[in-house]
Amino acid sequence: MKIPIIAGATAIGKTEICVQLAKKLNAEIISVDSRQIYRYMDIGTAKPSPEERREVPHHLIDILDPDEDYNAYRYRMDALKKVDEILRRSKFPLLVGGTGLYVDVIMRGIFEGAPKSDRIRSKLRKFEERSPGSLRRMLEEVDPESAEKIHPNDMKRTIRALEVYFTTGRKISELKKLIEGDERFYLIIFERDRHELYDRINQRTELMIKKGFIDEVRSLLGMGYHKELNSLKTIGYRECVEYLEGKITMDEMIHLIKRNTRHFARRQIIWFRRYNDAIRLNLTGKKISEIVTELAAIINSRMGG
């Protein structure tokens, strides 16, 4: 069975369309969103509404507190587990979201690498402290392909590449080529004309404020979640924290959220261009019912593939 991942830029309309699509296909939705995994962050991450989640089961939403760690490898394992559970119930899994890295690890797999070695890392750091630039020269010698891809100032990735080499005896660049994807999945990318997408982003920002987004952020800080958490550096939350700290005005906050979200959408669009085999669907000027009918036809045509 071929399983679709439906992706696209923020505010493009994925949730509303895919809830209707899921009802039509007797499907359950698996979120492909690196921020909707966090509890208490509802308005700023544009989670499906309680009504939408009652109509269609949603998975991998509200699975972590904002201060818990998560990564792409764990996401892939969790998502594939949910896919299998849904199929066992004779339902259809529909993966929906805009986090490009999560799309990547589902489609193409992920490199697990070697186990971490605090002993090796400590030795490498001390070596670099005694002789600055030595780790870079070492990497260029043992794994020149990785050295070309890793910025000279990126000490974290340099140490990781050397750690893998000294732990396994193999180059990280070689091991990454052994990654296996999952051929069950194919990608459908939503697109819109740029001006229409930007209008939707601006409108959604205004709606977020009306829904009580500022109170949501104030509540998170009141619960003890620190502004330096990765989760709270999400667009919207970081600007709102600055507003609550008195560093910017309300109008400045709204302007920054709109601008930064548009920039983020542009980066998502660029990311999704890398998928040459994806099915691309331009939503501009189409009614939701038309889009759902078109999507259902595409998915049904591949159902037995």
Q: What is the pLDDT of residues 126-162, one digit of tens each?
A: 999 999 999 999 999 999 999 999 999 999 999 999 9
Residue 113 pLDDT: 64
- Domain of residue 137 covers 118-176
Min mean pLDDT across 176-185, 192-201, 205-214 is at: 176-185
How many domains does the chain fold into?
Answer: 2
Taking the C-alpha atoms of residue 86 and residue 68, their distance in angstroms, rounded to an integer, is 26
Residue 155 and residue 48 share a domain: no
Residue 123 and residue 194 share a domain: no
Residue 112 pLDDT: 67
Residue 110 pLDDT: 82
**Mean of all residue pLDDT scores within the chain:** 94
Residue 236 and residue 137 share a domain: no
Residue 34 and residue 150 share a domain: no
Residue 172 pLDDT: 86
Mean pLDDT of 14-31: 98
**Domain harbouring 140, CATH code:** 1.10.20.140
Q: What is the pLDDT of residues 48-95, one digit of tens each?
A: 999 999 999 999 999 999 999 998 989 999 999 999 999 999 999 999
User: With bands split at pLDDT 50, 70 and 90, how would you rate the model's confidence at 181?
Assistant: confident
Residue 31 and residue 86 share a domain: yes
User: Percentage of residues in the chain with pLDDT exceeding 70?
Assistant: 98
Residue 187 and residue 290 share a domain: yes
Residue 171 and residue 275 share a domain: no
Q: What is the pLDDT of residues 90-127, one digit of tens each?
A: 999 999 999 999 999 999 888 766 677 889 999 999 99
Residue 291 and residue 212 share a domain: yes
Residue 289 and residue 233 share a domain: yes
Evaluate if residue 167 carries a pLDDT over 70. yes
Residue 20 pLDDT: 98
Residue 155 and residue 278 share a domain: no
Min mean pLDDT across 24-38, 73-87, 175-189, 250-264 is at: 175-189
Q: How many CB atoms lie within 10 A of CB 178?
A: 9
Q: How many CB atoms lie within 10 A of CB 287?
A: 9
Tokens 């529909």 correspond to 94
Residue 218 and residue 185 share a domain: yes
Residue 85 pLDDT: 98
> Which of residues 176, 195, 215 is at a domain's end?
176
Taking the C-alpha atoms of residue 63 and residue 42, their distance in angstroms, rounded to an integer, is 13
Contact between 2 and 184 (Cβ < 8 Å): yes
Residue 178 pLDDT: 66
Residue 267 and residue 145 share a domain: no
Contact between 158 and 136 (Cβ < 8 Å): yes
Contact between 155 and 128 (Cβ < 8 Å): yes
Mean pLDDT of 185-208: 98
Residue 114 pLDDT: 66
Residue 204 pLDDT: 98
> Which of residues 143, 161, 176 is at a domain's end?
176
* Strands across the sheet containing 185-191: 58-59, 27-31, 92-97, 3-7, 185-191, 279-282
Evaluate if residue 177 carries a pLDDT over 80. no
Mean pLDDT of 195-214: 98
pTM of the model: 0.82
Residue 100 pLDDT: 97
**Domain harbouring 218, CATH code:** 3.40.50.300
Evaluate if residue 202 carries a pLDDT over 80. yes
> Which of residues 133, 156, 176 is at a domain's end?
176
